[in-house]
Amino acid sequence: MSKQLLEDRVLPFQVDELDIRGRVIRLGASVHKILDAHKYPKPIADILSEAMGLTVALASGLKYDGVFSLQAISEGEGAGPIKALVSDITSEGGLRGYAGFDMDKLAALGKDVEPSVETLLGTGRLAFTVDQGKHMQPYQGLTALEGQSLSECAYNYFKNSEQLDTAFKIAHGDSGICVVMIQRLPDESGNDEEAREKWNHASIMLKSLTEAEMLDASLGMADLPYRLFHEEGVRVYETKAIHQECRCSEERLSATLKGMPVPELNDMIEEGGTTVTCHFCSTNYTFSKDRLTELRDEKQAEQAVKH
């Protein structure tokens, strides 16, 4: 009997007595579909799962119309086997993720590799981007890859760049991935010591949540914040559905190929065509010699009109 997967949903909640807001994120089938398209080694799958859970957690607290993305870039002398780790989600809940890595570098680390930032990514940076289309200025936040997990890197970003107390608890297993995130609301009382005590209490309660509870698909999403904060009076809100969705298409790839230099297009035409594989979903798109010739001719005609 196969293990029951977690529901693909986000549940916002708030605890007024503790001046915190939070979200429970559970991802099951969506993450499985993304990982199954690549057959990643377990350490890579684990850190990509964390990236996708974190992406949904961060994006679900924002009001935007477009795409929120998280990208971890490994660079410099201390770079790890993962070259790039990318996860993004549309404002409609369409999630995708991809990890590009050096298999030889990963194999050199041995069999029991911890899926940590230090081991798999090494030195580099973590970027958060909100893209709302060509008519809106994109927002980007950056932080160094410092900490054992991506959530620690995100914690450092909120603490140093946003001055916003934030805490995460993340668990992943066969049933999927679960993230519980809390953030401290602005203090209206003016009593800094009391506000700090409330935040410390909320953080300690979050740490008490077990991975078994988080990954138990038979427990409802609201059960998690209720178990943590029922004494303080937790309020839960309407959930939002998440689904796996890749935005690749033949039309988009045709536009990409058309944007390439004519000599490169000519090389592909001479080779009899080309196949382009989507990094995110592994779908293959084959462009024949005739189709590439059409794209090249269209490009040259458009360039002639401009000049």
Q: What are phi and psi of 222, to 5 degrees?
A: -70, -20
Q: Which pLDDT does position 300 carry in this prediction?
A: 86
Task: Delineate the domains of the chain, giving CATH numbers in brackets.
Answer: 9-244 (3.55.30.10), 250-306 (3.90.1280.10)
Residue whose entry in the numeric block shows the structure tokens 């107390």: 165
pLDDT at residue 223 in the model: 95
In the DSSP assignment, the letter for residue 91 is T
pLDDT at position 29 is 95
Q: Give me the tens of pLDDT residue by residue for the chain, a chain 307 residues long.
A: 357 999 999 999 999 999 999 999 999 999 999 999 998 999 999 999 999 999 999 999 888 889 999 999 988 888 899 999 999 999 999 999 999 999 999 999 988 888 899 999 999 999 999 988 777 777 888 888 988 899 999 888 888 877 788 999 999 999 999 999 999 987 766 678 888 899 999 999 999 999 999 999 999 999 999 999 999 989 999 999 999 999 988 998 888 888 888 889 999 999 998 998 888 888 899 999 999 999 988 888 888 777 6
Query: What backbone phi and psi angles, to 5 degrees, belong to 236?
Result: -110, 150
Q: Are 28 and 5 in contact (CB under 8 A)?
A: yes
What pTM value is reported for the model?
0.88
Strand partners, 298: none
Sheet with 139-144, edge to edge strand ranges: 139-144, 122-131, 67-79, 82-90, 94-101, 243-244
> Which residues have CB under 8 Å from 200's CB, separation 6+?
none
Report the relative pairing of strands 243-244 and 94-101 from DSSP bridges. parallel
What pLDDT does 110 receive?
A: 85
Crossing angle for the helix pair 262-270 and 289-306, nearest 10 degrees? 160
Nearest to 19 by CA among 196, 279, 277: 196
